[in-house]
Structure 1
Amino acid sequence: MLLCALLAAALMFADHRLTRMEAVRAQLSTVVAPIQWLVSAPSDILTWGSLALSEQRALVEENRRLREQLLHLSHRVQRMSSLTAENVRLRELLDAGKRQDVPYITAELLSLDADPFTFQMVVDRGRREGVYVGQPVMDASGLVGQVTAVSAFSSRVLMLADASHALPVQVNRNGQRFIVQGTGKYDSLDVLHVADTADIREGDLLVSSGLAGRFPPGFPVARVSEVVHDPGQPFAQVTAEPAARLQRSRHFLLLFPAGPEGDGPVGDEAAPDAIRVPPVLEPDERAAREEEP
């Protein structure tokens, strides 16, 4: 046991001090990838068993709800088509360039980091699929984080909630730009250096600004949950709640924005099975207009 403890301490010191350990870590991640899949297998089997043993009444009720949801979404798509055409006409009037589609591939959660002071996870996509360090990751609700390490079959993702993670954002309502940083909590982010006179309110949607070149613009990041003005202080204390479901999501999208920083793949060369999809994010006023009868 003492020998194992000394060996672990030596490995941690080498990993902290030597850059060559990145390659060793990547190879070790490749070796333990089958173990991670084996650990997640019981959960997948239990999920399949629960679905197989579901009562017919529950399935019929779920089918009915899905049909109602499909009808509602079809109605919204019809409204959206006219709004999209209107937006295209307005952009042509402003002589604005067309927005580029963002290719992506899907990924599934393998494991979460057990360290309580870091917020990282491992997904089942790696170098074979074109994943690269710095690649943005999102779920169905918003941005989750970025890739920090890649092996052949898996990748490690640093989530927004980690205290060492920060990214540039802008208020979707008025375009003001700020920096959002993790707080070490899943449900809270700090908006840094907000002037006391800045036009930011509770409920404002914060989206990626694209200024750093790593995260594509227009994707939801967080929603402002609290704005505290302290008299006599030049900056307000602003807290936001992540848009992504960091504690509940199991399926993610790995985005391939055009021209990412670093040596990662670009555009259509990112991955052979990458799917192209435009980031759709309508302003709050337009969303309110859709809900009107």
Structure 2
Amino acid sequence: MLLCVVAASALMFVDHRFTRMEEVRAQLTTVVAPIHWLVALPSDVLTWGSLALSEQRALVEENRRLREQILHLSHRVQHMSSLTAENVRLRELLGAAARLEAPYITAELLSLDSDPFTHQMVIDRGRRNGVYVGQPVLDASGLVGQVTAVSAYSSRVLMVADASHALPIQINRNGLRFVLQGSGQYDALRVIHVPDTADIREGDLLVTSGLADRFPPGYPVARVTEVVHDPGQPFARVTAEPVARLQRSRHFLLVFPPDPAPVPDDEMWDLELPDELDDEAMPEESN
């Protein structure tokens, strides 16, 4: 120990007095650098491992929060998409209502008939709202059908696509009148008893004719999609597609008959008769 103390004191004196010891000290530092690395290695490994584990936990936690946020935002987007679509449908319905002159009320779909062979639906308007049997039902595009049964708070509607439904229509282009019957399919209607020589073409718009006083005239019903002329047959086969969105609409208009125009009071005319009639104007009485 004494030898080491003497040597250390000598080295300190030489290092303080002479500058050549700086180079020697630098070389000795280079020699002992690996020892420093080995001594610090366990501490560095522990620090790196702790940092890696903490970063992994932070990443896992952040990933969980992001997944929850994505799920929440996806739910909101779906809800907003539904509201946006409903807003578009209501705007279209209001636009269709603005074109109507007859009084109307709005209704919403409650359920569809589960029978695959019928095309009926139930809406949320009933007798308390003034709904009556035979009342026309429309959506934003055209005629959907008519009311067939009414309760206090709901009504049953028979769609134009039902095979038992038929209504008088006319071609909007030339006014020819026919009968449009459902085919049991949502996308196909039949124009029945069309003479083979009738002026009807693909693309013609079919509207209500107003006959039978059930549907007011002028409401769009269907558009002709096919006209087939069979040689030797007296009638052509005409197929039309409904303009109403029977499978997609959820909001409807129930149209009431327009109020009758007021009839002016008959004017009273005072007829002045002469007190005495001319004898020549009177026929001769026979004896």
TM-score range, shorter chain: 0.5 to 0.7
* Paired residues for 1:135-154 under 5 Å: 135-154=135-154
Q: Which residue of 2 aligns with 1:155?
A: 155
- Aligned-residue identity in percent: 74
- Local SS of the residue matching 1:54: helix
Aligned mates of 1:235, 1:54 — CA distance in 2: 53
The residue identity in structure 1 corresponding to 2:251 is: H
- Give the Cα separation in 1 of the matches to 2:166 and 2:73: 39
Cross-structure match for 2:8: none
Which whole-Å deviations, capped at 9, do the CAs of 1:180-224 have from their partners, x for residues lacking one?
A: 000000000000000000000000000000011010000000000
Deviation at 1:257, TM superposition (A): 1.6
Q: What is the SS of the residue equivalent to 1:128?
A: helix
Whole-Å separation in 2 of the counterparts to 1:121 and 1:187: 17
SS at match of 1:162: coil
2:76 to 53, 66, 78: 53
The Cα offsets for residues 115-153 of structure 1, whole Å up to 9 and x where unpaired, read as 011110000000000000110000000000000000010
Q: Which amino acid aligns with 1:226?
A: E
Alpha-carbon offset, residue 51 of structure 1: 9.7
- Aligned residue identity for 1:53: R
Residue aligning to 2:204 = 204
Is the radius of gyration larger for structure 1 or structure 2?
2
Deviations 1:244-278 (A, max 9, x none): 000000000000024xxxxxxx779xxxxxxxxxx
| 8 A Cα contact 1:148 1:158, kept in partner | yes
Alignment of 1:49-128 (within 5 A): 53-54=76-77, 101-128=101-128
Cα deviation for residue 50 of structure 1 reads 8.9
Q: Look up the SS of the partner of 2:77 in the other structure.
A: coil
Mapped partners of 1:221, 1:167: distance in 2: 10
Equivalent-residue separation in structure 1 for 2:183 and 2:74 (angstroms):
37
CA distance in 2, matches of 1:54, 1:121: 30
* Poorly superposed stretches of 4+, deviation over 3 Å: 49-52
Equivalent residues of 1:103, 1:267 under 8 A apart? no
CA-atom RMSD in angstroms:
3.1
Matched position secondary structure for 1:248: coil
Contact kept? 1:256, 1:267, Cα under 8 Å: no
List alignment gaps of at least 5 residues for structure 2: 1-71, 262-287
- 3-state SS, counterpart of residue 149 of structure 1: strand
Distance 2:212 2:101 in 1: 18
SS in 1 for 2:222: strand
Query: How much has 1:54 moved relative to structure 2?
Result: 2.3
| Higher RCO by CA contacts (8 Å cutoff, separation 6 or greater) | 1
Paired amino acid for 1:155: S
d(CA) in 2 for partners of 1:200 and 1:125?
38
Aligned to 2:231: 231
Check conservation: 1:144, 1:246, Cα contact below 8 A: yes
Find the counterpart in structure 2 of residue 257 from structure 1. Answer: 257
1-structure distance, mates of 2:74, 2:226: 40
CA distance in 2, matches of 1:194, 1:144: 23
SS at match of 2:244: coil
Q: Measure, in 2, the Cα distance between the counterparts of 1:222 and 1:267.
A: 28
1:276 match: none
Deviations 1:14-58 (A, max 9, x none): xxxxxxxxxxxxxxxxxxxxxxxxxxxxxxxxxxx9997129xx9
> Contact between 1:169 and 1:177, CA under 8 Å: does it hold in 2?
yes
Q: Post-superposition shift, 1:101?
A: 2.3
Q: Identify the residue that residue 280 of structure 2 maps to in structure 1.
A: none
